[in-house]
Chain A
Amino acid sequence: MTKKQLGIFLGVVAVLIAALIVGIVLTDGLYERDVNIQESMQDAVLHEGDKVWFFGLQVNPGLISAYLVTAVILIFAAIVRIFVIPRFKLVPGRFQIVLEEAVGMFTGMAEKNSPHRNKFLGAYIFAAAAYIFVGTLFELVGFPWQSAAGESVTLPAPLSDINGAIALGCLSYLVILAGGIAANRARGLGRTLKEFSLPISMSFRLFGALLSGLLVSELVYSYLTLSFVLPVLVGVLFTVMHALVQAYVLATLTALIYGEVTEPYVKKTRAHSKEKHHQIKPEVNV
């Protein structure tokens, strides 16, 4: 037996012994969690019991997460701005490709969905997608914070706080509204108001999607026996995927509807409508 084979053998034995010890400990009734699952899930949704202090205000921990996420993103952006962007090359390196791809993807999305007015839109959906993506991944860090009651709480994803989701959903709607008014005045306002359900659907889609990940994670963590290995899979499924999917969904929806409301109005002629009428009529009869 070579040294390498011996090392592998000893490693496997050590892992087996560790797994057996963990199994023996977990099957002991003493180590079961005594917190009510309903209470913990209610707290995860409503944050009634884990308020934290924020400049003298009692707020949900999601708000602290939001500001921390913003700080992290802005520090990263500042470092990139100072040290990386001045060294950009015509033939890009790996990191430059990632940055250019991120910016190019959202710029392209804005230009494709809203060809007439897209400069602000591109920047907005880039920021929103970055916020959703990093904010959702922030949940995986499990950053501890002290609650107002003096207990330790783990900071959740900013958008699993309903106030954060409503803020982003409503802001997206306001951006669309502003774009519509700037492009088409009263007609743009009308087109945007026609989509009155948009802020609610956007907000609750974000909230629901991110909360579902949080609830499943909470459910898994509430049983000590499930809190090994499985959270990794759950975390990947409900956090990383949500981070990507929700960022993409909000960016796409915002760009799409922004493009619709900012589209220039083309007056239909009577001949056109008559033609259309004639074309449609036989189909109706058939």
Chain B
Amino acid sequence: MPLNIDWQQILLHLLNFVILFAGLWLLLYKPVKKFMQGRKEKYEKMESDAQNKVAEAEQTRAEYEQKLAAADAEIAKKRADAGKELDSYETMRRAAAEEEASAIVAAARESAAREKERAVSEARSEIAGLVTEATEKLVLNGNASEAYDSFLDAAQKQTSTKGGGKA
């Protein structure tokens, strides 16, 4: 062959290179690549874990913020409810107090009316007694006009004494 080309030697060179390729692949290329791949995966996993944790923290924060907002709303609602309840309670108490006051006033008026009636009845019975007494004296002692005058004086005096005391 020209240029000293020899097929047998070409095949021997090929055999040599195939041995080299197989050995280098098994001994060096594959283990180094495997290590690099493992390290890459490890760092990628760490990164993804970190991202997941950040996302989780963000989610937790959002949840807490949502809960806080809900709690604030609930507090506001409860406060409003309590205000309303307080208002209605006040209204109710005021109504009750007014009712009680009205009842007291009514009872007082009734009592005053009863007292007046009783005083008037007592005065009447006393006047009747005085009249009876004066009539008796008049009949027994003589002068009718004096007796009548003394009767009127006694009645007037009695009436003024009873009326002033009650007032």
Chain A interfacial positions (CB closer than 8 Å to B): 45-48, 54, 57, 59-60, 63, 66-67, 69-70, 73-74, 77-78, 80-81, 85, 88, 90, 99-100, 103-104, 107, 122-124, 126-128, 130-131, 158, 161-164, 166-168, 170-171
Contact = CB atoms under 8 A, between A and B. Distances in A.
A57 B35 CA distance: 42
A127 B20 CA distance: 7
B4 A67 contact: no
Interface string B1-30: 001111011111110110111011101111
B16 A66 contact: yes
Given A60-B4, A90-B42, A103-B28, 18 more contacts: A47-B4, A63-B12, A63-B13, A70-B17, A74-B23, A74-B24, A80-B28, A81-B28, A85-B35, A104-B36, A123-B25, A124-B21, A127-B24, A130-B24, A163-B5, A166-B10, A167-B14, A171-B17
Q: When A and B form their complex, which 7 residue pairs have the shortest distance between CB atoms, in order from nearest?
A: A167-B13, A77-B27, A163-B9, A127-B21, A77-B28, A70-B20, A81-B27
A12 B36 CA distance: 51
Contacts of A161: 9, 13
A59 B16 CA distance: 14
B24 A163 contact: no
A168 B17 contact: yes
A66 B10 CA distance: 11
Question: Which of B6, B24, B28 counts the most chain A CB atoms within 10 A?
Answer: B28
B33 interface: yes
Given A57-B8, A107-B33, A124-B21, A90 B28 contact: no
B32 interface: yes
Interface of B: 3-6, 8-14, 16-17, 19-21, 23-25, 27-33, 35-36, 39, 42
B20 A73 contact: yes
Given A47-B4, A163-B5, A73 B12 contact: no
B13 A131 contact: no
Contacts of A126: 24, 29
Contacts of A99: 28, 32
A46 B3 CA distance: 6
Contacts of A124: 21
Nearest to B33: A103
20 contacts: A54-B12, A59-B6, A60-B4, A63-B16, A70-B20, A74-B19, A74-B23, A80-B27, A80-B28, A85-B31, A99-B28, A104-B36, A107-B33, A122-B33, A127-B17, A127-B24, A127-B29, A130-B24, A163-B12, A166-B10
